[in-house]
Structure 1
Amino acid sequence: MEEPTLRALLRRPDLRLRLVSEERRLRDGALDRPLRWVHSSDLADPTPFLADELALLTTGTQFADGDAAGAAAYVGRLQERGVVGLGFGSEVHRTGVPPELIEACEAAGMPLFEVPYETPFIAVARAHSEAIAAQAYARRTWALDAQRALAIAALRPRGLFATLAELARRLERWVGMFDAAGVLVHEHPQGGLAPEDAAALASRAADLLARGGQAGQSLTLGTASYTLFTLGRGGHLRGVIAIATASLDAEARAVVTSVIAMAGLALEQNEQLARSRRRLRSQVLASLMLDDPTLARRVLGSFPHAPMLVAIADADAPLEAVEEFWERHRSDGATGVFTAESDDGFVMCVAEEDGALFDEISARFGIRIGVSEPEHYARFSHAHAQAAAALRRGRSGVVRFADTVSDSILTAFATDEARLIAESRLAPLRAHPDLEQSLRVWLEHDARIEQAASALGIHRHTLRARIVQASGLLGRDLSSFPARAELWAALQTVR
């Protein structure tokens, strides 16, 4: 239905209104601005009694003949007050429209129209009020139809996304939803955003989610405007809905509010289901740790095929965001994946060829991940132990167990407790750096005096004396292999 504007009022054939101003000289959109009311007054300055966005009707008794300055001042006051247009009732006190009023309106870019003698001012006001009432009725009818359509959409498979698509059709605007990680998971119509706009909206959605409070926000990207609404309760937000519009009228906002409520409820229900699934997967994980995949295949049906990789994410990882990442890969059917929470961290299992996804997760969420070597399900517990060991060894990013086995086995024993013991054992040598260095070089040369002395640049008798002195300080007989092996382990640990 046509909006109640001045242009719509001028098109009413029963009123026989005539636009006097040349449209090309009017301000941009002057005829299409919202028109809230029509008022009449012959006061020289009616502005104290006027509101914004109305059309004023006058018979011109306040104008003196040929008073161009007075007409210009009058129009200037109306323009400053926010009057949309001026209607002049001809043949009441004057024949035609005064030329000085025409010039003043054209100079100000204000629409001036003639109201013929046969058309009462009250008829113009009544016609516009009827247009407002008709528009209000049409918008209420639209809102009721939209609510019914949205309720039906919610009952379809993937009801949340069907509801958002229906909202986009009803608003005739692009609508998108970002998940709790700020990732665009649904849009209608598909591909309706430029990549740079999608990235900017995702960044703003992530900001809203990070604040944690329920909020709405508007922003402009180039020539396009968007309104964003958070989903979920404060402190536990589930996502953001974005609509390609700068503003919504009351009816559209009511429809959007109902969609937000439905979406929030759907996401809460999904969360309850997700908690149930997490409990089930934890029980399946316990079965897999017995190296028996029978229960897992019966319960879950599809499963990553062997050889598979087991990975464990850091306990500080954003589990919901990581789980949503895997859910998207489950839904597209391209990746078989099993995930479960455990005391060691977030456990993930995929086929060997999908191992690169761990690098993508680590880079996206900035988390540590330990990854096992490829194994069959009969050795699942072994793979799990490898992933846990790799996670303990890694400081950042993805650490694969295959990379850690290339290190000395002694480094695997270099725990904080082992370092404390080693430092205590070697404490008597710390006051004699030359003794510690001599012992290290001697052991590196398989306890051969001649080669070690040559490497140190000292006489072999000097080296023998240092070894005897070190043996006395340490209280250990270094002539035996076990004593030398323990000393070598201590030196490597403190290093």
Structure 2
Amino acid sequence: MQTLLNRRELALDVLVPGDPDRLEAPVRWAHSSDLPDPTPFLGAGQVLLTTGTQFDGASDAFATEYVARLVAAGVVGLGFGTEVIRAGTPEPLVAACGAHGLPLFEVPYRTPFIAIARLVADLVAEDTYARQAWALAAQRAISLAALRPDGLSAILAELSQQLGAWVGLIDAGGALDREFPPGGLGASVAGSGASGSVPFSRDAPPEPAPDAAPGAAADPLDAVLAAARDLLRRGRRASRSVDAGEPVTLQTLGSGGSLRGVLAIGDSPELDDAGREVVTAVLALAGLALEQHRDLDRARGHLRSGLVRSILAGDLDLAAQVAAEMWGPLPAAPVRVAVVEAAAEHADRLAERLELRADARGGRLFFGRIADGFTVLVEDADATDLAADLAAEFDAAIGLSDPVGYDRIAPAHEQALRAHERAVEAGPGTIVRFEEVSRQGVLAFLARTDARAVALATLDPLVAHDAANGTALVPTVRTWLACGGQFDRAAQELGVHRHTVRARIALAERLLGRDLSGFHAKADLWAALLAVD
């Protein structure tokens, strides 16, 4: 607006400077009208030109209402043409513009309205051309950045520089993968004075950001990561604007059902139509780079799996040498073997999370995908935290071996497999350590395989008798066996007389057709009870 007022050839006389925001606002068009209410034909960012016929005989209140309607419609300036209908600008109109902060200027008789409209059109065209030229230059710079060794980082760094804003890449697991400038979001928020950005996406409509919870975290990055994780959980292409102290725009990367991450962009005045074209180009390049990384990650995953199989087969030296060249040293003994299995739709994200954790831990974790799950070698000190994190985030069923040296890796893998079977039976998100299984003994393990049907048939006479007669033969037999076949201890546990226990055991022997005085019979009956439990 100020540029228009400063043009000497128009000889405009400023009567009311108006609010600084309106003076700095871009003028989108100049429209002339003498209607009492021209707002149905106006848009935001326009300048209205009038000769003032609507003010003939009008009251002061009309001028106030007239200006209020213009301000509500987003008009950024009002030009009054003098010496056409009347000489000078009505004082009520000057007062109303002053009260509402609307810039008001007089247009002399020698300056036709068409000259103002033509100048505005030229300025808009110049600005549009300049923005298009900027967009082309920015896209060219970003394309050249993509050719650098770490193309993805170079692309994002160039985008940050072109927009003058913080740019972050959030990986498929919801963690901040990289940002430019480093730590720039917090610094940007502290000095933010920009008006805000506009969500962008050609393929997915922006979604409203969830309301901020009272007492939100002080770190603005937390709000960005929380919103990004919500988009990733939904699994479809979308964009969102989130308030992190400054507006931050989020856009998913990848195709629906196979999202590769989220691009986050801080507040920038460059995010107009031209800026959004630049961002769209970055989305395409970043998505391509991530897909290429995915293919590379898949090849690396096959190599990891082959090395884990070599370790389990006892060929440790070769596996350790290859692993050291690719990722660093293997975890230091003692290690635990973990067998981790999650739902199929989480498998790729689980692999990415293990890869990120392995990179962050610097050799304290190694893994490979075997069959439908992952076999993980992890240092004993990290095993509990790793299992808890994976179970919570991916609802993974996890079996953990005892801590062992590398000479016992194969037996430890068997332990992890047995513990994993128990975890699968218990349901998603369950962690079972092998020591929990071994504490129950060999009979407990044997009883849980295919013995349940046999056990039910074995115990059926006792169960049927209890159901028909209201007796307690099954709990009595269980307690008696748990007490080592001692009648006095069992009686104390059950709170009955020892002769009652003797009578019940004798009845159980008759119903089962077995003599329970021998060890073999006791062990067989105990295994049956474990199987049905």
* Counterparts of 1:386 and 1:468, CA distance in 2: 40
* Counterparts of 2:139 and 2:85, CA distance in 1: 53
Deviation of the 1:257 alpha carbon:
0.7
Select the residue among 8, 11, 22 that pairs with 2:6: 11
Distance 1:211 1:352, change over 3 A: closer
Select the residue among 311, 334, 339 that pairs with 1:312: 339
Select the residue among 365, 384, 399 that pairs with 1:337: 365
Q: What secondary structure is seen at the aligned counterpart in 2 of 1:405?
A: helix
- TM superposition score normalised by structure 2: 0.79
Who is 1:252 aligned against? 275
| AA at the equivalent of 1:228 | L
Aligned: 1:429 with 2:443: no
* Counterparts of 1:352 and 1:387, CA distance in 2: 14
Distance 1:78 1:288, change over 3 A: closer
Task: Show CA shifts across 1:289-308 (max 9, x none).
Answer: 21222332343323223332
* Counterparts of 1:80 and 1:184, CA distance in 2: 41
Deviation of the 1:126 alpha carbon:
3.4
Distance 1:453 1:366, change over 3 A: closer
Q: What secondary structure is seen at the aligned counterpart in 2 of 1:213?
A: coil
Deviation of the 1:310 alpha carbon:
1.2
Who is 1:377 aligned against? 406
Aligned: 1:178 with 2:211: no
Deviation of the 1:20 alpha carbon:
0.5
Distance 1:137 1:436, change over 3 A: closer
Who is 2:431 aligned against? 398
Higher mean C-alpha deviation, range 349-358 or range 91-100: 91-100
Who is 2:239 aligned against? 216
Distance 1:387 1:110, change over 3 A: same
Deviation of the 1:441 alpha carbon:
5.3
Aligned: 1:228 with 2:256: no
- 2:401 and 2:434 in contact (8 A); partners too: yes
* Counterparts of 2:154 and 2:39, CA distance in 1: 50
Aligned: 1:115 with 2:107: yes
Distance 1:437 1:350, change over 3 A: closer
Select the residue among 313, 327, 341 that pairs with 2:355: 327
Who is 1:37 aligned against? 29
Q: What secondary structure is seen at the aligned counterpart in 2 of 1:34?
A: coil
- 1:310 and 1:349 in contact (8 A); partners too: yes
* Counterparts of 1:453 and 1:71, CA distance in 2: 101
* Counterparts of 2:476 and 2:73, CA distance in 1: 95
Q: Which runs of 5+ in 2 are unaligned?
A: 187-216
Deviation of the 1:35 alpha carbon:
1.4
* Counterparts of 1:448 and 1:107, CA distance in 2: 99
Distance 1:282 1:62, change over 3 A: closer
Deviation of the 1:87 alpha carbon:
1.6
- 1:66 and 1:100 in contact (8 A); partners too: no
Distance 1:443 1:52, change over 3 A: closer
Who is 1:419 aligned against? 452
Task: Show CA shifts across 1:429-488 (max 9, x none).
Answer: 23154555554555455446677678875466x766655543332222334332233233
Distance 1:405 1:38, change over 3 A: same
Deviation of the 1:111 alpha carbon:
1.7
Q: What secondary structure is seen at the aligned counterpart in 2 of 1:156?
A: coil
| AA at the equivalent of 2:26 | P
| AA at the equivalent of 1:188 | F
| AA at the equivalent of 1:475 | G
Q: Percent identity?
A: 45
| AA at the equivalent of 1:313 | V
Deviation of the 1:139 alpha carbon:
0.8
- TM superposition score normalised by structure 1: 0.85
Select the residue among 193, 200, 219 that pairs with 2:223: 200
Aligned residues: 485
- 1:72 and 1:101 in contact (8 A); partners too: yes
* Counterparts of 2:389 and 2:126, CA distance in 1: 56
Higher mean C-alpha deviation, range 390-399 or range 36-45: 36-45
* Counterparts of 1:333 and 1:449, CA distance in 2: 56
* Counterparts of 2:493 and 2:66, CA distance in 1: 105
Q: What secondary structure is seen at the aligned counterpart in 2 of 1:306?
A: coil
- 1:60 and 1:94 in contact (8 A); partners too: yes
Distance 1:257 1:490, change over 3 A: same
Select the residue among 151, 155, 161 that pairs with 1:169: 161
- 1:288 and 1:296 in contact (8 A); partners too: yes
Alignment RMSD, CA only? 3.4
Deviation of the 1:13 alpha carbon:
4.3
| AA at the equivalent of 1:327 | E
- 2:173 and 2:353 in contact (8 A); partners too: no
1:351-390 correspondence runs (5 A) = 351-355=379-383, 356-390=385-419
Who is 1:346 aligned against? 374
Task: Show CA shifts across 1:213-254 (max 9, x none).
Answer: 322233445x63232212111222222212224993221111
